[in-house]
Amino acid sequence: MKFNFQRVKIKDDIRYHLVDYSSCDCIEKLGMVVVGEKTDELTGGNKVGAFIERIEVIEECGYNWENYFYYRINKCPICGENIEIVIGEDIDITQAYLNVIEECRIINDEIEKTDSKKKEVELFKRRRELDKIIDRFFCKEEFILGSKE
């Protein structure tokens, strides 16, 4: 199995994006293997890899929440096929990010200045689109085997 990631940089922030992959059919059926950047329960430290996810429900004082634990695997637990993680060249998208931030700033100024309701609605619409783009810049990419359509 092979998972190709790309390191994406925004200023000092580093994200890993899954570019493409190939995997055995059996591991997809497990449905609890996560490929992405996780902290391994046994060795610690953040690493990109394939992990078995274990969810523990904790109940305390009438509240409950879920704790997630990740255990790194190097082979498919069913057929034994090796899992290869390839991390390609860095892409620096800092400038693209700064451009979007700048457009947000300009739109905010225009929203403050405009007297036109119609224009304001349009500006807010564009502002929401930009917010979504910003969210996408920082979304952590992980991939759960077995969950794809």
Q: Which residues bind Zn ion (CB under 5 A)?
A: 24, 26-27, 76, 78-79, 81
Closer Cβ to Zn ion, 78 or 106, answer by number: 78
Closer Cβ to Zn ion, 48 or 76, answer by number: 76
Closer Cβ to Zn ion, 22 or 64, answer by number: 22
Closer Cβ to Zn ion, 45 or 80, answer by number: 80
10, β-bridge pairs: 13
Shortest distance, position 21 Cβ to Zn ion, whole Å: 13
Query: Buried b / exposed e across 125-139, counting CB within 10 Å, b at 16+?
Result: eeeeeeeeeeeebee
Shortest distance, position 55 Cβ to Zn ion, whole Å: 22
Q: Do 104 and 130 touch, CB atoms closer than 8 A?
A: yes
Query: Around Cβ 27, how many Cβ atoms within 10 Å?
Result: 23
Shortest distance, position 26 Cβ to Zn ion, whole Å: 4
Which ranges in 1-149 belong to alpha helices (H)? Answer: 25-30, 94-113, 117-138
Coil vs helix vs strand at 125: helix
Shortest distance, position 48 Cβ to Zn ion, whole Å: 20
User: Which residue shows structure tokens 């190097």?
Assistant: 74
Closer Cβ to Zn ion, 77 or 88, answer by number: 77
Shortest distance, position 78 Cβ to Zn ion, whole Å: 4
Coil vs helix vs strand at 145: strand
